[in-house]
């Protein structure tokens, strides 16, 4: 028993307590907002699911942090096959929960669901880190290596796009580009990719994008003619604006409590924060997520090897990508594409998946003083 408590004390000394504290505060803040936004219709149900997801996610993150991240990299094929296999199952057995329009979820026992694309993000971070680590640093910008890295990175993006979940595809693209940059690929390749993307825009608009996707973009510039598409964002911004500096208070927001903000407990939970807690609440939510992102980058700088740095960059890009896209959706800078706000939006399994990423970052931190392992030995 004494040794058990000694190991706990050792872990507390070695782990990143600040990162754990920030994640805990963000998760509890988010859980309270989920309760406020769903209490009238669902009571404590979604709140309980959120708390269970947080507790289980934190527990799993701590377990992962006790394992050297290099072990996960050596078993990259298991995680990749498992995640891709689940995604492929959605093409046959996937379903679309209420408020969504793509069959990107799988049904679990006891009425729970899971979105395999969330697991794919973590599996991709692991497999791509392994790929980069297998290349000699001085050869990372060779055309052949960059081409293979691009194939690796764009495969999950394309797979999730075919599934219909363009929001998750965009986040995966964020992760890929962030990790590619951290790998040290020369800037000329990013400039070339930007040029190709710009030239390809007309092709995407006329031959790839469907009418609904086009209308969601057009609605941002001409909302009066697309009121049926922009109404969710319009109501979200109205709710935020009415909240003023301090908001109406929890359980008192007129739009939130009357259910006038579509998905006000999920994709548009930031609008619920704005109405009930005002500008101050919005700043607190943004501050917590920003602090988590910067803390992850700090862990990256302390990592013992390049692999640890790239893992942290991937997790950072995942959180930052979701954060930027979600806030952009709510404020009508971006079209609505179904991206959740990390640590705040409702969803037990999605919360657990977030903490899988945190677990990898904590593993990098906890093993920062161990002699680097050369992958492939």
Mean pLDDT score of the chain: 92
Residue 5: predicted pLDDT: 67
Is 184 exposed, middle or buried, given 0-12, 13-18 or 19+ CB atoms closer than 10 A? middle
What is the Cα–Cα distance from 291 to 24, expressed in whole angstroms? 12
pLDDT score, position 377: 41
Token pair listed for 237: 């911004």
Q: What is the pLDDT of residue 375?
A: 45
Is residue 248 over pLDDT 60?
yes
The mean pLDDT value for 35-59 works out to 92
> Which residue in this structure is represented by tokens 């994709």?
267
- Cα–Cα–Cα angle for 134, 60, 81, nearest 5°? 45
**Confidence band of 176 (pLDDT split at 50, 70, 90):** very high
pLDDT of residue 108: 81
Lowest mean pLDDT among 106-110, 239-243, 247-251, 256-260: 106-110
Contact 247, 253 (CB under 8 A): yes
Distance CA 234, CA 141 (A): 45
Q: What percent of the chain has pLDDT over 90?
A: 77
For the chain, first and last CA: distance in Å? 38
**Helix axes 45-65 and 17-42, enclosed angle (nearest 10):** 160
Per-residue pLDDT band for 154 (boundaries 50, 70, 90) equals very high
CA proximity to 16, closest of 368, 273, 376, 362:
362
C-beta atoms surrounding 320 within 10 Å: 22
Lowest-pLDDT range of 124-128, 166-170, 357-361: 166-170
Percent of the chain with pLDDT over 70: 95
What are the CA-CA distances from residue 369 to residues 7, 8, 15, 74 (Å)? Answer: 18, 19, 12, 20
DSSP state, residue 248: S
pLDDT tens figures, 279-293: 999 999 999 999 999
Give the helix/strand (H/E) hosting 172.
Answer: helix 166-182
């Amino acid at each position: 028993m004494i040794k058990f408590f000694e190991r706990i004390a050792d872990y507390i000394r070695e782990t990143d307590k600040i990162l754990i504290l920030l994640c805990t505060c963000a998760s509890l803040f988010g859980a309270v907002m989920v309760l406020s936004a769903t209490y009238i219709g669902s009571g404590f149900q979604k709140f309980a699911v959120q708390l269970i997801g947080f507790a289980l996610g934190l527990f799993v993150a701590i377990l992962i942090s006790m394992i050297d991240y290099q072990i996960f990299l050596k078993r990259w094929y298991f995680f990749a096959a498992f995640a891709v296999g689940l995604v492929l199952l959605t093409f046959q057995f996937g379903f679309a929960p209420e408020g969504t329009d793509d069959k990107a979820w799988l049904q679990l026992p006891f009425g729970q669901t899971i979105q395999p694309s969330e697991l794919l993000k973590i599996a991709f971070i692991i497999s791509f880190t392994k790929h980069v680590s297998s290349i000699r640093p001085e050869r990372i910008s060779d055309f052949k290596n960059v081409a293979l890295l691009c194939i690796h990175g764009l495969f999950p993006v394309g797979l999730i796009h075919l599934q219909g979940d363009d929001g998750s595809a965009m986040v995966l693209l964020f992760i890929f580009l962030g990790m590619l940059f951290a790998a040290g690929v020369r800037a000329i390749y990013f400039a070339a990719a930007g040029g190709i993307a710009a030239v390809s825009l007309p092709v995407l608009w006329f031959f790839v994008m469907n009418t609904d996707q086009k209308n969601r973009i057009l609605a941002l510039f001409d909302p009066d003619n697309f009121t049926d598409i922009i109404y969710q964002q319009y109501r979200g911004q109205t709710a935020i604006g009415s909240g003023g500096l301090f908001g109406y208070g929890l359980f008192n927001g007129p739009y939130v409590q009357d259910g006038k903000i579509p998905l006000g407990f999920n994709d548009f939970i930031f609008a619920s924060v704005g109405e009930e807690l005002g500008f101050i609440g919005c700043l607190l939510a943004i501050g917590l997520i920003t602090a988590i992102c910067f803390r992850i980058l700090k862990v990256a700088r302390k990592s013992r090897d390049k692999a640890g740095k790239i893992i942290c960059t991937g997790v950072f890009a995942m959180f930052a990508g979701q954060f930027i896209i979600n806030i952009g959706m709510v404020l009508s800078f971006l079209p609505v594409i179904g991206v959740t706000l990390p640590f705040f939006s409702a969803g037990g399994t999605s919360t657990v998946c977030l903490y899988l990423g945190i677990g990898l970052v904590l593993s990098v931190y906890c093993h920062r003083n161990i002699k680097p392992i050369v992958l492939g030995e």
